[in-house]
Structure 1
Amino acid sequence: MTDAWPVVPPAAGVPACGPPTFEIGGAWWVTRHADVRTALTDPAFRVPAVDTGAPGTLAWLRGTVSRFSPPERHTERRVIGVTALSALDPDELRQEATRRTAGALDRAGEHLDVMRDLARPVPLRILAGRLGFSDPVAAGTAVGAVAAAYHPGADATLVRRADRAVATLLALSPPAGPEVRANLIGLLVQACDATAGLIGAAAHHLLATPDRRASGVPPLAGVGTADLLAEVLRLDPPVRATRRVTVAVARLGGRDLPPGSPVLLRFDAANRDPEAFAEPAAFRPGRPGAGLLTFGAGERGCPGDRHALALATGVFDVLRERCLRTDAALRHAPHPTLRVPATLEVSVR
């Protein structure tokens, strides 16, 4: 079935792998798999500090979640999210995502926007409900507004909208202390764009087109969804990069990075590193390799990777059975480090 493998070219702007380089804009770009993994696990590289703000605001949320916490606060805050997720069975999440996706397709007409109707609402509403938010639909909408302004430097209008959304989410969250509620919201925000982007990328790259269906060759037949999604995560990751800053002289890839150096870790490049993956540009589900870096690594690796993959699997299992990709042009939402389709139309069978 090798003739059925899709082609996943690198997205525009993905750099080639090489030693760390200091780029225009004032940051070191790290592109090799081994170097990115080192930076993710070396304590000399830290998540950039964020300012906090008044309780109940977006700035307060960023200053309270484990994602942006300094080392002395990170562990205790991470435990909140890990504990909450440990109560959720990934297989049950997958089954619920399958049911909801099938229901949405049953109600759809001939066409459906994967991003608007499935990739964003289905995982968020399921996760919000399982985490105890009283109105999962309203919570999912509010999370989208927070995610749009979550990373520092967002437009002031988006920040004001996110402030209102944080207040909504706090009102919908289960009874708990402020730090617990903030980190439950943080789980939803981290899942928002990353899970939607994975589903959208999988639908774009892997769904059959009408011409392909007419040829009688079922593309990727017999290949498990988990293996398919792993290759999509490698070749077209929804999270293209993450940031760090050095707190001491750091030796990386043969270069000395001074203290206070901003660092951009390029997952999209590292996942195509020929030193880590044989035939790195080829789509090979189930391939052996050095391991994906899209979910991070070390003590700050994504705590919900299994849950996100389960939700994405539930949605995509139904899409690959019942939908065909149309020829509509694909456009991605503008973002410096995320790659998420804005819309993605499919026809429903």
Structure 2
Amino acid sequence: MTDTWPDIAPAAGTPACGPPSFAPERGWWVTRHADVRAALTDPAFRVPAVESGPPGTLAWLRASVSRFSSPRRHAERRSIVVAALDALDPDELRQEAARLTGAVLDRAGDRLDVMRELARSVPSRVLAGRLGLADPAAAGTAVAVVAAAYHPGVDVALVRRADRAVATLLAEVPPAAPEVRANVIGLLVQACDATAGLIGAAAHHLLPLPGGDGAGAVRTAELLAEVLRLDPPVRATRRVTASAVRLGGRELPADSPVLLRFDAANRDPAVFAEPAAFRPGRPGAGLLTFGAGERGCPGDRHALALATGVLDVLRERCQRTRVPLCHEPHPTLAVATTLEVSVR
């Protein structure tokens, strides 16, 4: 068993912790743990509004899900997601993710790209099946297309592809009111890249290189919690101030764009002793990657269960190769483009 863990260096672009800072080209950045938590739980900081569109389009989906809802609509839409998740057993999700991962490895040959073959497809397929979609495999493919265009500001061609994928998913979701169907699809889409990013980061940090010792007997769940802290797949989230507000000793005017940096806050030395050190099983519950307050992620246990199922099998059967790790371009997510492993 590995007793000494190497530090995990912060990803490129991760700022150091400090008071809220402002620059005209990017707005406000919030990096300290206490400030990020305060902003997540203060109604003066709101999720940026999105424009709607014709029913069945990507714009309609974004405007209908709890993730982008106004405070007036958020609670009722979130309750749809919570009800859907309450019907799912995380342990069953983990077991099914492990089974599908093993099946993929059985036919993979001696090399496999974790990101292309497992990280998105397995969690999406398991979740889609448990949520009752008619063809989980086809749904998983469509979910990845929607996820690529889900956040506003992407290329028009991606939006058009996503519009077609939303139509595909609507045909797969069990009959229900449009808002219910939209939030079931939103649940799948929001889990897609975040879970894939976690699996990629964990495989990169935890799988041994040829001749290495790996992570020994430490439980995957404990390892994932520390990966989430040090190398989170969701590095930041956006807010806008609804009114003038004071945060961390700074005065933020109304309508200010704010970026809450989870990656920096999770390394705040005021909260985490030796913040760069990889220490599975740290005491306390200071992790902010899943958010906090009324908009905190309702599916954290389910995402961890899906990732654990995939990683349990990878740890047993795979080694990481020495191919350098690169990430997809994204302002708030960190998802590896490829991650090659050798299969035993």
TM-score, scaled relative to structure 1? 0.97
Structure 1 residue 108: deviation in Å? 1.2
1:142-153 to structure 2, matched below 5 A, reads 142-153=142-153
Q: Is the CA contact 1:20–1:30 (under 8 Å) kept in the aligned structure 2?
A: yes
Question: Residue 264 of structure 1 aligns to a residue in which SS?
Answer: strand
CA change 1:26–1:9 in 2 (3 A) is: closer
Question: Residue 164 of structure 2 aligns to a residue in which SS?
Answer: helix
Question: Residue 149 of structure 2 aligns to a residue in which SS?
Answer: coil
1:247-326 to structure 2, matched below 5 A, reads 247-326=242-321
Matched, 1:174 2:169: no
Residue 57 of structure 1 is matched in structure 2 by 57
**1:336 paired residue among 328, 331, 343:** 331
Residue 343 of structure 2 is matched in structure 1 by 348
Matched, 1:123 2:118: no
Question: Residue 28 of structure 1 aligns to a residue in which SS?
Answer: strand
1:76-91 to structure 2, matched below 5 A, reads 76-91=76-91
Query: Aligned partner of 1:145: which letter?
Result: V
Matched, 1:228 2:219: no
TM-score, scaled relative to structure 2? 0.98
Aligned length: 344
Q: Distance in 2 between matches of 1:145 and 1:327?
A: 29
Unpaired segments ≥5 residues, structure 2: none
Q: Is the CA contact 2:14–2:263 (under 8 Å) kept in the aligned structure 1?
A: yes
Q: Distance in 1 between matches of 2:196 and 2:33?
A: 25
Question: Residue 260 of structure 2 aligns to a residue in which SS?
Answer: strand
Structure 1 residue 161: deviation in Å? 0.6
Structure 1 residue 187: deviation in Å? 0.2
Q: Is the CA contact 1:248–1:258 (under 8 Å) kept in the aligned structure 2?
A: yes
Considering only aligned residues, what root-mean-square deviation do their CA atoms show, in Å? 1.0
Structure 1 residue 23: deviation in Å? 2.3
Structure 1 residue 290: deviation in Å? 4.6
Matched, 1:160 2:160: yes
CA deviation digits over 1:84-132, x for unaligned, max 9? 0100000000011111111111111000010111111100000001111
Residue 98 of structure 1 is matched in structure 2 by 98
CA deviation digits over 1:224-276, x for unaligned, max 9? 11110001000100000000000111111011111111100000000000001
Q: Is the CA contact 2:119–2:195 (under 8 Å) kept in the aligned structure 1?
A: yes
Residue 72 of structure 1 is matched in structure 2 by 72
Q: Percent identity?
A: 78
Structure 1 residue 329: deviation in Å? 1.2
CA change 1:26–1:10 in 2 (3 A) is: closer
Question: Residue 340 of structure 1 aligns to a residue in which SS?
Answer: coil
Residue 201 of structure 2 is matched in structure 1 by 201
Deviates more, 1:308-317 or 1:101-110: 101-110
Unpaired segments ≥5 residues, structure 1: 213-217
Query: Aligned partner of 1:91: which letter?
Result: D
Structure 1 residue 4: deviation in Å? 4.1
CA change 1:35–1:290 in 2 (3 A) is: farther
